[in-house]
Amino acid sequence: MFVDSHCHLDRLSEHTHGGDVAATLDAARAANVSQFLAISTTLEELPGLAAIARAHHDVAISAGLHPLHQEPNEPTVDDIVEAAEQYGAVAIGETGLDYHYQESVSVSVQHERFKRHLIAANELELPVIIHTREAKEDTLALLREYSNPQVGGVIHCFTEDLDMAREAVRLGFYISLSGIITFRNAASLRTLARQLPLDRLLIETDSPYLAPVPYRGKPNEPAWVVEVAECIARERGISVDEVAMQTTVNFYHLFRAAAPDAPAHVKEALAQSGLVV
């Protein structure tokens, strides 16, 4: 079984099963994807995401404001906490720093927004989902200052270098790999997938974006997280079953609020690794 640890179910393309969330999830379940984390990029999205989660027992949600979203009224720490509690989020984010499009949201605003999310995550003892692009040093500096290693989080859709990945792991974070790992020009990511401990990896689609090979150019969907797992398995010279099981266990270790809904055999594996749900 597989987990899609980062998808945007409220943004499905009309070309993805007609934009039908239920049909999209059914296609993923048929591919043995058994859990989905639907990611918030604005707090205004939360009612819609919560409705999807209520309709599908295997969907969990996060609460956060993307670093590049232009927001006239910046949420306070209390706003983030209240939204996460109201809608039953299992994580805070996605949040972080993105310097590739600095004209969108200023660096100073991004820093303050990121700090507020990290503080909210600490208050709730929920993991934080990090978006980072061309902001390695500042991202790590803020994680060192404000994140809680006992709660941790994940750097999603990781595209940075091995040194950053190792430092993030040291700070209590997981590294999530997306369909980018299958791209021809992503040799450095495939090297990273071989060198990081398997018990610190997650897999994701970031759908409807970044469809993996052989689906590049199409709207991405959660079923294709299997392609990410298969690529990691090839690189590490292990079975895809091992990648699937370990990344699934990793997911529930990190997102513990979602663990009570894990399948029975996953709960057994979690118990064996010290997490009772």
User: Which residues are known binding-site members for a divalent metal cation?
Assistant: 6, 8, 94, 131, 156, 206
Tell me the pairing of strands 201-203 and 33-38: unpaired
Binding site feature residues: 6, 8, 94, 131, 156, 206
E strands of the chain, at which residues?
A: 2-7, 33-38, 59-63, 91-98, 128-133, 153-155, 173-177, 201-203
- Cα separation, 43 vs 57, in Å, equals 21
Helix (H, G, I), strand (E, B) or coil at 42: coil
Cβ 116 vs Cβ 96: under 8 Å? no
DSSP 118: H
Helix (H, G, I), strand (E, B) or coil at 83: helix
DSSP string, 141-196: HHHHHH--TTT-EEE-S--S-HHHHHHHHHTTEEEEE-GGGGSTT-HHHHHHHHHS
Q: What are all long-range contacts of 109-114, with beta carbons under 8 Å and residues at least 24 apart?
A: 109/74, 110/67, 111/138, 111/142, 112/74, 113/65, 113/67, 113/74, 114/67, 114/142
